[in-house]
Structure 1
Amino acid sequence: MSVETEVSDQGRFAGLRASLSEEFAVQTARLKELTEISADTGDPGEAHNRAALTAATRHSLEQITGALRRIAEGSYGRCAGCEDAIPAERLEVLPHARFCVPCQQKQNG
């Protein structure tokens, strides 16, 4: 890896880290709000929706945390399956992606 590539990657990762950290803060606030809602309206649909939103928010936080950890470890952008580079286009859409598309399809069965 050339010095220019390394410096470019560091700049890109700094922006990505900042973006992921902001999203982490937003999702953390959302989770706090969801878990502090204690008014039981007696509507099972509302309780189900709140539980689903809470689970989705926790999952999002896990994905963000994993991406931040991979950035810190230097493994961000490498497929956890085949260890090839994950295309930048995929990472732009899913910055928390752990797998390239073929390996993700294998994971999904």
Structure 2
Amino acid sequence: MTTHTQPGEQDWLDALRSTLTMQCETQSARLTELTADTGDPAEEYTRGAMIAATRQNLEQTAGALRRIAEGRYGTCERCGGSIPRERLEVLPHARFCVPCQAKQRG
């Protein structure tokens, strides 16, 4: 899914970009809320875990948007092969094809 897209793929990519942009905005707003100090030390551990998860989600979403903008979306960062659209529909921030992801995890 590099810059040479099939006819229906560009529409799908445009819709995905829109969805990811909305997710980015939602996660950014959530992160702002989570980092506001509530003054309750009992919530600190839970809030810290939620902040870490939200930051990771935000970074993954921003990375997918960056790859779309650069024309690299859907290309495995390890082998350079195509990541199947089915995988990207389930995991839009996927950076590796399934075989390379398995190797990445060891």
Question: How many pairs are equivalent?
Answer: 103
What's the counterpart of residue 38 of structure 2?
39
- Alignment of 1:104 onto 2:86: no
TM-score (norm 2): 0.90
What's the counterpart of residue 79 of structure 2?
82
List 4+ stretches of structure 1 deviating above 4 A. Answer: none
CA RMSD of aligned residues (A): 1.5
How far the C-alpha of 1:4 sits from its partner, in A, is 7.8
| Identical aligned residues as a percent | 53
Structure 2, gaps ≥5 residues long: none
Post-superposition CA distance 1:47-78 (Å, at most 9, x none): 11100110111111111111001101111001
Secondary structure of residue in 2 paired with 1:8 = helix
How far the C-alpha of 1:39 sits from its partner, in A, is 2.1
Secondary structure of residue in 1 paired with 2:94 = coil
Secondary structure of residue in 2 paired with 1:77 = coil
Structure 1, gaps ≥5 residues long: none
Q: Which has the higher contact order (CA 8 A, sep 6+)?
A: 2
Structure 1 CA distance, aligned partners of 2:72 and 2:61? 14
What pairs with 1:7-22 in structure 2 (closer than 5 Å)?
7-22=7-22
How far the C-alpha of 1:104 sits from its partner, in A, is 0.9
Greater C-alpha Rg? 1
Post-superposition CA distance 1:2-43 (Å, at most 9, x none): x882x432211110100000101110111010011x123232
What pairs with 1:56-95 in structure 2 (closer than 5 Å)?
56-95=53-92
User: Partner amino acid for 2:54?
Assistant: T
